[in-house]
Structure 1
């Protein structure tokens, strides 16, 4: 799989990850790593897991989430 962002710039670069929101392939240059709390229902409430989960995003989705 190739990086989508590189393809839009007429380059071919091997993707190392996939955006967790829009699912495009990403090379290291265009990959953004974010963290996300993982919450699981337990009994009458929720439990937050630690450490936070790692999440791969493209530049567009990262900006959209603000």
Structure 2
């Protein structure tokens, strides 16, 4: 079992073990809460099951966020 990574700043993009890209929303009882960059329901993951996104994954997530904002879906 690997040690838990340090808690990232709010809004940091990470990828969970299932390949979902999420924005770090907080920590509770040792689990991290993530949410898609376009909004929606949060989910929890173990900190050892996340990794940083690749440059391509980061670009796709940031583009999805910008598109959602342009459609008025995000504030």
What's the TM-score bracket when you normalise by the shorter of the two chains? under 0.3
Name whichever structure is richer in strand by fraction.
1
Name whichever structure is richer in helix by fraction.
2
**Higher Cα Rg: structure 1 or 2?**
1
TM-score normalised by structure 2 residue count: 0.24
